[in-house]
Amino acid sequence: MSDPTWQELYNAAVLEFDLTKLPERVEAACDAIHQYRVRKHHALSAAEHSELDEALRVLFKLMRRAA
């Protein structure tokens, strides 16, 4: 079985209702987004950059609300 994609981890974080699990889910999604950026580096399109930036903004907002 392959590793989950950043999108799958992002969705898991966004849909997490258990506030005790939320930090772990957000961290996993942020790490996956970072790894994706490192892997793709210069091959990222402007649309991908925007999508990743928006995903990170949402994740950070989730953490602020959960705190």
Q: Which residues contact 52 (CB under 8 A, 6 or more apart)?
A: 6, 33, 36, 37, 44
Q: Per-residue pLDDT for 1 more than 60?
A: no
Q: Which residues contact 17 (CB under 8 A, 6 or more apart)?
A: none
- The overall average pLDDT reported for the chain is 94
Q: Where are the domains of the chain?
A: 6-11+19-66
Go through the chain and tell me how many residues it has: 67
- Averaged pLDDT, 30-43: 95
pTM, full prediction: 0.90
Q: Which residues contact 50 (CB under 8 A, 6 or more apart)?
A: none
* Cβ–Cβ < 8 Å for 65, 16: no
